[in-house]
Amino acid sequence: MGQDLLDYIGEVSSDFLDVVSKSSKPVRIVGNLDTDGITSTSIICKTLSRLDIRYVVSVVKQVNSELLDALKREDYDVIIFSDLATAYITELSNEFDNDIFVLDHHFPEVEEKRVGKVRQVNPHLFGVNGTKEISAAGISYFFAKSLNEVNKDMSYLALVGAIGDMQEDYGFKGMNCLILEDALSEGTVEIKETLRLFGIQTKPLHKVLEYSTNPYIPGVTGSERGAIKFIEDSGIELYDKARKVRRLVNLSKQELAKLVTAIEIKKTSGTMAESTVGPVFLLKDEDEDSLKKDLREFSTLLNSCGRMGWPSLGIGVCLGDKVASKKANELLRSYRKEIIDALNWYYENRSTPNVLEKKGYVIILAGSNIRDTIIGTLASLLAKSKVYPDGTIIMSTAYTLDGLIKVSLRITGDTDSDTDLRVIIKELVAEGGGYGGGHKLAAGASIPQEKEDIMVREAISSLNKYVSSRAVTAE
């Protein structure tokens, strides 16, 4: 399973040690600000620390010309990009004299593994699906493991990264399974079958439901009163005999079954929805009330750091810094509120021009109502929520502070069709300017705000053609 990729990673790790041994300067690390990027970057940082290799690290939204210009002015011999830069292999080769290592899983624009002094480690070049079977954190993990077997103890971080990139769907696939095997053999992770809701280990029962965004429970999500009433109507006691609020992990099997049934009825609104019960991956040695206990909660904690503008806190959490963990826990509350506010804004605007619902696609024009770093999360949640039929393309947009529009494309359902959202993103960028990229089933772009009308017209045209051609193909 991915042996050719693993062999190549071994070669690249040897190259890395060779070029680093010839340099007296720190290694420059540039990572992405989402969960996958933060875990990927953290794995690299800890690996270099164990090798006594100095480094300087930055976490950014994306690679663009401004970032590249800034890097050119810096004085480093070796640069590592984690979870980004795949679309800039040619520019990096032509414009930099550094030894550059790109550890990424986005679909490559250049199919060569090495271009000049740029080495790209990308699963797609070896027939491994970087959308479903391994994330950038997984690539960084195998890179770290190749450098030193002791780094197997970071396998759980690679799983957190995969979860953050939606590669866990009631279990893992492909090379992520190899990482899970390492985590299980290391004794760092255990698996438990239960309700797959955020906060099952740490939050009071009514708070778990109040802050549930996946699934979004109408009348319950975002409402403490609604959550308490929902629990009471389900025939479940909210308090124990000592009048202490119960947690979800305290429920009996019978109570858990009642709650599952009530949630399924409430959230489906007449349509089929995937089960809310399944495997939950837990850190064995983490305290029961820790936000890092459940790997899905851990993933959300890191995502909140990146999306709220504090990715360095996320790296601190991954590296075991207690002060960073405390601050990240506080930041998470603000993040969860913003997610719920975004969902509520969406549901309130479904019948307005801000949400264009057409056959086969939806365009959400949030403007300044939703933070640009949150808009992709909204699209992802809606794609998994069963609000729209499988195969529906969701395009969500929000303004950035620097005069751009952040565009995120997702598709509902776990489809293996020929749908490729990068094609639509490229058409939008070609017409409206800016830059974009991503995966087949999750892509994004940044486009100048003054081109918004053009972008919307082009999006409607492209999506109409795309949906029509897909319908013809299906016939």
User: For residue 475, is pLDDT > 60?
Assistant: no
User: For residue 322, is pLDDT > 60?
Assistant: yes
pLDDT of residue 218: 82
In this prediction, residue 416 has a pLDDT band, given cuts at 50, 70 and 90, of low
pLDDT-above-70 percentage for the chain = 95
Weakest-pLDDT range from 293-297, 368-372, 423-427: 423-427
pTM: 0.82
SS3 at position 409: strand
Please report how the helices 452-474 and 421-432 are oriented relative to each other, as an axis angle in degrees rounded to 10.
150
CA distances from residue 70 to 73, 74, 79, 250, 309 in whole angstroms, order as listed: 5, 7, 13, 52, 20
CATH of 3-165+172-182, one of 3.60.20.10, 3.90.1640.30, 3.30.110.60, 3.40.50.720: 3.90.1640.30
**What pLDDT digit, counting tens, does each position of 188-219 carry?**
999 988 777 777 777 788 988 887 876 778 88
In this prediction, residue 349 has a pLDDT band, given cuts at 50, 70 and 90, of very high
Weakest-pLDDT range from 2-11, 79-88, 365-374, 414-423: 414-423
pLDDT of residue 274: 47
- The two beta strands, 393-399 and 404-411, are antiparallel
Overall CATH class of domain 349-474: alpha beta
Write down the domain spans for the chain: 3-165+172-182, 194-345, 349-474
In this prediction, residue 471 has a pLDDT band, given cuts at 50, 70 and 90, of low
Rg, the chain, Cα only: 22
What integer is the mean pLDDT of 399-409? 92
Q: Are 16 and 22 in contact (CB under 8 A)?
A: no
The whole-angstrom separation of Cα 291 and Cα 312 is: 17
pLDDT of residue 473: 55
Which amino acid appears at position 411 of this protein?
Answer: I
**What pLDDT digit, counting tens, does each position of 88-105 carry?**
999 999 999 999 999 999
For 140-195, give the DSSP string: HHHHHHHH-GGGGGGHHHHHHHHHHTT--SSS--THHHHHHHHHHHHT-EEEEEEE
For 121-149, give the DSSP string: E-GGGGT--TTTT--HHHHHHHHHHHH-G
The whole-angstrom separation of Cα 440 and Cα 436 is: 12
CB atoms within 10 A of CB 392: 20
What integer is the mean pLDDT of 419-436? 80
In this prediction, residue 269 has a pLDDT band, given cuts at 50, 70 and 90, of very low
What is the residue-averaged pLDDT of the chain?
89
